[in-house]
Amino acid sequence: MAAGSMGLQALFGRMNVTQLAAPVLVLMILAMMVLPLPAFVLDVFFTFNIAISVLVLLVAVNTQKTLDFSVFPTVLLVTTLLRLSLNVASTRVVMLEGHKGPDAAGKVIEAFGHFLVGGNFTVGIIVFMILVVINFVVITKGAGRVAEVSARFTLDAMPGKQMAIDADLNAGLIGEDEARKRRSEISRESEFFGSMDGASKFVRGDAIAGIIIMLLNVVGGLIIGVAQHNMELAQAAKNYTLLTIGDGLVAQIPGLIISIAAGMVVTRVSDDRDIGHQVMGQMFRNGKAIAITAAIIGILGMIPGMPNLVFITLASTLGWLAWRMMEKERRVVEAPLPVAPSPVQEAMEASWNDVMPLDVLGLEVGYRLIPLVDKSQDGELLRRIRGIRKKFAQEVGFLVSPVHIRDNLELKPNTYRILLKGVEVGQGEAFAGQYLAINPGRVAGTLNGTATKDPAFGLPAIWIDTSQRDQAQAYGYTVVDASTVVATHLNHLILTHAAELLGRQEVQQLLDHLAKEMPKLVEDLVPKVIPLGVLQKVLQAMLEEGVHIRDMRTIIETVADHATRTQNPDELTTQVRIMLGRSIVQQLFPTGNEMQVMSLDPALERLLAQAVSGGSENTSFEPGLADTLVRETSAAASRQEGLGLPAVLLVPASLRLLLARFLRRSIPQLKVLSHNEVPENRIIKVTSIIGGKA
C-alpha cells in the first residue's frame, strides 16, 4: 500500500494543475449527466457557465489575430457539452422537485423564469424561441458558412503562400526559422478554419436540443404534476413551464454569447489591433460621414409624432462628435509657420570637399515609394535590404557595400532605379499598398489588375489590390508585396554584378578578416608572393562565373602554391577552380551523384582545339562557326532548363576559359565546366551534344 501511495504521489507530483484541468472538467461534465445534483450545486455550475461564456466573448473581442485563439473550436465543444450536461442535471431536478414551487431547481433558474420574463410562461416561451431562432438561424448559420468558405480558400491558397515563403527565403529576406514559423502558421490556419466549420455544428445541434428538451420538460412536467402529485392542470402547467423556461434561458443565453464569439473570431481580418480599436479606427474616423448621419437623424426628429427628444439628443451628440473630429483634422493639416529665409552667404572657393565619391550601390525611389524606405514610417524595405546583404555575405563569401537610398523627384512616382557606381543597372515600378501576382507558368485563372513583368526575372505578372491576394494565391500565383519586389530585384542585380562589387578595399577587408584565424597564411601571400591586384582578379573571375568564394582558405593555399610559377590571373583561376571542383559541382548539382550535362561533338572539339593551339589570348572564331555554336548551345540550354536541370556545358580544360567568355554574353545562365573540375565520385550523363549535325 505504501509503495502504491508513493507511486501515485510521484505521478501527481509530475503533473501540474494545468495538465489536470482539462480531464477534470470533462469528468465533471460527464458526472453531471449521471449523478443527481442539489439545487445549490446547480446554481454554482450555471453561474460558472455564464462566466465562461462572457470570458470567451471578451477574449474573442480582444484577439488581434485569428490564430491567437486557435483553441476556440475545442472551447466551443466543451462549453456546448457543459450546457447540455446542465440541461440534463436541471431536467432531473425539475421533474423530481418541480411540484414544490418556483425555487425547486435553484435560485438561478427561478431568477431567469420569473424576473427576466415577469413570471409569465407565455412570454417566456416566446422569448426563448426568439433566442433560439437568433442563435440557430442567424449567428451560428452565418458563422458556420464563413468558416466553411474560409477553410476552402485557405486550403486553396496554401500552395501560393508556400511559394511566396520560398521566394522570400531564397531572396534572403527571411531566415530558416522565420520560414518554418510561417509555414506552421499557414498549416494551423487551415486546420483552425476546418475545425471551426465542424465546431459550429455543435452550437446548431445545441439549439435544436434546447427546443426538444423544453418540449419534453413541459410535457413530462404536466404528466408528473397531475398524475403523480395530484396537482391541478393549471398549477402544474405554470410550475413546470416556468421552471423549464428558466432552465432553457439559463442555457441559451450563454450559448448565444458563445455563438457571437464564434462569429467574431471567424469574420475578423487579422490586424495588429483588437476589434474595438478596429471599429473605432475605421467606422468613427470620418467626420463628414458622422455629420451627415447627425443631420439625417435631426431631420427625422423634427417630424411630428416621432420621439423628438431622443432623436434630437442623439443628433446633437453625433454633431458634436463630428465637429470635434473635423476640428482635430484642421489642426493636423494646419499650415506650418513660415521659416525665415537663411541669409545669403558669399560663395566659397571650390575645394576637394566638393568632390563627392560615388556610392558603390545606390537605390533611388519616386515619391510614392518613400514610405517603403522611411525609418519613421517603419519602412519594410530597409529590413529586407539588411537581410539581403547578410545572406549574400553568408553564401557568396564577402560583404558588399551598404546600399545608399535617396528619393529622386525626377523619377515617376512609382518608379525606382538601382545604381552601380553611379550608373543605372536596373529599373522597375512598384506600387505601395498593392501586391504583385507573378505567374510561374501554371495558374488556374486570371486576375483584374495592371499587367506588367517581374522586374527581376521578366516573368509575366499583375499588380493587384489587397482584396485579391487570397484569390491570386488560390489560383497558383506567387504573390509578393512592393518591398519584396524591389528587394528581389536588388538581390538579383547584386548577384549578377558580384565581381564588380569586389574592389580592392573589399579584398583587403576579406584578407584582414581571414588573418584573424590564419595570420601566417595571409601574411606570407600578400604582398610577398602575389600583389593584391592579382588576387582580386582571380576572385573576380570566380564571381563572374557564379562561383562562391566562401572557401578562402583553399583559394589562398592554391594561389600560394602556384604563384611562384606564374602571376597570370587566368592560369591561377584555372588551378583554383580545379581545387574547388567539388564545391562548384555541389553548387550546381546539390543532390545525387549524377550530373546531367551538355557536351561538344568530338569533331567540334578538335576544331576549337586547333583554334586555341596558337596560344593567343585573343583567339577568335570564324563567323559561321561562332553563330552555329551560340545557336545550338542556346537551344540545348533551353532544353536543359525545361527539364528542370541547370544549363552546364562540360568541355576539355584547354577550351573551358575560351568558351566561358565567348558564351557568357549570349547565354548568361550557362555554366562551363572542365573535365578536371569534376570529382571522381560523380557520374556524368550527357543529355545534349552540341555540333553533332556539323
Where do the structural domains in the chain lie, given as residue ranges?
A: 21-147+198-272, 284-327, 357-499, 502-579, 592-694
Provide the grid cell at 678.
569534376
Q: How confident is the model at residue 159 (pLDDT cuts 50, 70, 90)?
A: low
For residue 664, is pLDDT > 50?
Answer: yes
Does 66 or 364 have the greater pLDDT score?
364
Give the model's pLDDT for residue 313. 85
Q: How confident is the model at residue 346 (pLDDT cuts 50, 70, 90)?
A: low
Please state the rounded mean pLDDT for residues 60-66: 75
- The tally of CA atoms less than 13 A away on the side-chain side of residue 250 is 32
343 CA to centre of own chain: 53
Give the model's pLDDT for residue 494. 94
The model's pLDDT over 499-525, given as tens digits with 9 standing for 90+, comes to 999 999 999 999 999 888 888 888 888
Provide the grid cell at 518.
590564419
Query: Roughly what angle, to the nearest 10 degrees, separates helices 141-170 and 176-223?
Result: 170
The model's pLDDT over 456-515, given as tens digits with 9 standing for 90+, comes to 988 999 999 988 998 898 888 999 999 999 999 999 999 999 999 999 999 999 999 988
Q: State how far the Cα of 146 lies from the Cα of 153, in Å rounded to an integer.
A: 11
Give the model's pLDDT for residue 51. 85
Q: How confident is the model at residue 245 (pLDDT cuts 50, 70, 90)?
A: confident
Please state the rounded mean pLDDT for residues 315-338: 71
- What CATH architecture is 502-579? Orthogonal Bundle (1.10)
The model's pLDDT over 577-628, given as tens digits with 9 standing for 90+, comes to 999 999 999 999 988 889 999 999 998 888 888 877 765 555 677 788 888 8
Q: How confident is the model at residue 374 (pLDDT cuts 50, 70, 90)?
A: confident
Q: How confident is the model at residue 694 (pLDDT cuts 50, 70, 90)?
A: very low
Please state the rounded mean pLDDT for residues 30-46: 75
Give the model's pLDDT for residue 568. 93
Identify the CATH number of the domain defined by range 592-694: 3.40.50.12790
Does 563 or 158 have the greater pLDDT score?
563
Model pTM score? 0.56
Does 439 or 127 have the greater pLDDT score?
439
Give the model's pLDDT for residue 451. 92
Please state the rounded mean pLDDT for residues 11-25: 61
Q: State how far the Cα of 573 lies from the Cα of 164, in Å rounded to an integer.
A: 38
Give the model's pLDDT for residue 248. 74
Indicate the residue type of 127: V
Main-chain dihedrals φ then ψ at residue 596, nearest 5 degrees: -95, 105
- Lookup result for grid cell 596558337: 614
Percent of the chain surpassing pLDDT 70: 81
Give the model's pLDDT for residue 1. 45
Is the Cα dihedral 565, 568, 572, 577 positive or negative? Answer: negative
Following DSSP, what letter does each residue of 623-682 receive, concatenated?
Answer: HHHHHHHHHHHHHHHHHHHHTT---EEEE-HHHHHHHHHHHHTT-TT-EEEEGGGS-TTP
Does 17 or 470 have the greater pLDDT score?
470
Percent of the chain surpassing pLDDT 90: 30
CATH 3.40.30.60 fits 357-499, yes or no: yes
Beta bridge partners of 437: 462, 479
Does 640 or 264 have the greater pLDDT score?
640
Please state the rounded mean pLDDT for residues 331-345: 54
For residue 143, is pLDDT > 90?
Answer: no
Provide the grid cell at 267.
469574420
Q: State how far the Cα of 74 lies from the Cα of 61, in Å rounded to an integer.
A: 18
Task: Collect contacts of 267-276 with beta carbons under 8 A, ≥24 apart.
Answer: 267/143, 267/146, 268/63, 268/66, 270/64, 270/65, 270/66, 271/64, 271/65, 272/64, 273/64, 274/61, 274/62, 274/63, 274/64, 275/61, 275/62, 275/63, 276/61, 276/62
